[in-house]
């Protein structure tokens, strides 16, 4: 395997969910190893259990460091934190699993900050378990920002049809509207613009959603939020040569993106962006954290406790997350 391929830290996610299964399944996909050198941060024993559930027989090798990884077909390298009990039930919220999931991400972040890995790809964690384990973060996005010392990042969802970046994410709707202001909108669009350019689109067309129905209908709906919170940001972006358009009615923006009018849609709040994206492509959806000092991608699904431990989890989103992590991460030789 070529040494110029990026090393990607793959966090196993919540050990009681489908994370171990999708991790093993994705890392047995030959296309992954053609693009990157994956190193799992997790629990080797749990991954072996997942492999048995899948009817697979990979070599799951516990290693102490990235330098100890040997990349070969059928081998999965694991920095084994050994935090899970052998009898951890599948499909149940567990404080132990939540705490372990936190430490997988912590170690991966430390490896990234030290330059030992060029990207991070995360299997899903469970917010309730994370909180029960003593780590009250709303999700990966906020946790990674905390661990890497970054004050502000953005969540981008990517499907084969549409990409969407969020101005606000895991806060209530009333709080989200209060938080939205021109500076935050502008910074979010810039982060999205840079990410799309890194993926190979030289001049991305960006559609910016409004907040109210019909983007306010010229003041008919709402209290002028579009004019005060969004229009100034678009003016500043366009003055800087960024092709940002809007505010657009959210109920048509995703249709326009789906037919190819926009490379990126900017959603103002969580459900405005998540709903359409999951309808369009949840099976192949990828969650990308934009603004970190290292690229981070993730599956766009949860821990799926209802099917965890059954071997029925679809690995397609994890394979796509690894593909995009490899595509967006620099080569280790580029220093």
Average confidence (pLDDT) over 258-278: 93
pTM of the predicted structure, to 2 decimals: 0.84
Give the per-residue pLDDT at 284.
Answer: 62
Confidence category of residue 2, pLDDT binned at 50, 70, 90: low
* Fold topology of 153-287: Isopropylmalate Dehydrogenase (3.40.718)
DSSP 219-251: TTSSSSHIIIIIHHHHHHHHHTT-EEEEEEPHH
Q: What pLDDT, in 10s, does the model give residues 49-87?
A: 999 999 999 999 999 999 999 999 899 999 999 999 999
Average confidence (pLDDT) over 2-10: 89
Q: What pLDDT, in 10s, does the model give residues 151-185?
A: 899 999 988 788 999 999 989 999 999 999 999 99
Give the per-residue pLDDT at 90.
Answer: 98
201, pLDDT greater than 60: yes
169 touches 140 (CB < 8 A): no
Spans of all domains in the chain = 1-150+292-335, 153-287
Give the per-residue pLDDT at 330.
Answer: 78
Give the per-residue pLDDT at 77.
Answer: 98
281, pLDDT greater than 70: no
More confident residue, 210 or 287: 210
CA 193/CA 24 separation, integer angstroms: 33
Quick check: do 1-150+292-335 and 153-287 share a fold? yes
Give the per-residue pLDDT at 134.
Answer: 97
Average confidence (pLDDT) over 183-199: 93
Task: Name the average pLDDT for the chain.
Answer: 93
Give the per-residue pLDDT at 47.
Answer: 98
333, pLDDT greater than 70: no
Q: What pLDDT, in 10s, does the model give residues 21-51?
A: 999 999 999 899 999 999 999 999 999 999 9
Give the per-residue pLDDT at 327.
Answer: 84
What is the arrangement of strands in the sheet containing 119-122, beginning at the earlier edge strand? 59-63, 75-80, 37-42, 7-11, 119-122, 295-299, 286-290, 154-158, 163-166, 264-267, 205-209, 243-248
Q: What is the CATH number of domain 1-150+292-335?
A: 3.40.718.10
Alpha helices in the chain (DSSP H): 19-27, 30-33, 44-54, 95-113, 127-132, 140-148, 173-179, 182-198, 225, 231-239, 250-258, 270-281, 316-328
């Amino acid at each position: 395997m070529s040494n110029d391929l990026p090393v990607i830290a793959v966090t196993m996610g919540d050990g009681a969910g489908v994370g171990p299964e999708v991790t093993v399944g994705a890392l047995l996909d030959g296309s992954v190893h053609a693009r990157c050198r994956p190193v799992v941060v997790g629990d080797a024993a749990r991954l072996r259990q997942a492999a048995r559930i899948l009817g697979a027989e990979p070599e799951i090798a516990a290693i102490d460091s990235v330098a100890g990884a040997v990349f070969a077909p059928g081998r999965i390298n694991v920095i084994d934190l050994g935090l899970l009990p052998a009898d951890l039930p599948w499909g149940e919220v567990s404080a132990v699993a939540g705490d372990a999931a936190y430490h997988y991400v912590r170690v991966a972040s430390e490896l990234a900050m030290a330059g030992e890995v060029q990207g991070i790809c995360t299997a899903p964690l469970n917010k309730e378990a994370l909180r029960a384990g003593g780590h009250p973060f709303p999700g990966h996005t906020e946790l990674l920002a905390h661990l890497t010392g970054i004050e502000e990042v953005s969540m981008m969802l990517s499907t084969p049809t549409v990409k969407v970046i969020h101005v606000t994410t895991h806060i209530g709707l009333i709080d989200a509207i209060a938080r939205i202001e021109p500076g935050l909108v502008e910074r979010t669009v810039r982060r999205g613009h840079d990410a799309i350019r890194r993926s190979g689109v030289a001049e991305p067309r960006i559609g910016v959603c409004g907040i109210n129905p019909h983007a306010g209908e010229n003041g008919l709906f709402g209290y002028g939020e579009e004019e005060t919170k969004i229009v100034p940001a678009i003016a500043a972006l366009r003055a800087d040569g960024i092709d940002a358009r809007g505010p657009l009615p959210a109920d048509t923006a995703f249709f326009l993106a789906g037919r190819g009018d926009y490379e990126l849609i900017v959603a103002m709040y969580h459900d405005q962006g998540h709903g359409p994206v999951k309808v369009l492509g949840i099976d192949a959806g990828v969650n990308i954290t934009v603004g970190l000092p290292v690229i981070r991608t993730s599956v766009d699904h949860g821990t799926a406790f209802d099917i965890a431990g059954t071997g029925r989890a679809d690995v397609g989103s994890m394979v796509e997350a690894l593909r995009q992590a490899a595509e967006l991460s620099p080569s280790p030789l580029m220093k």
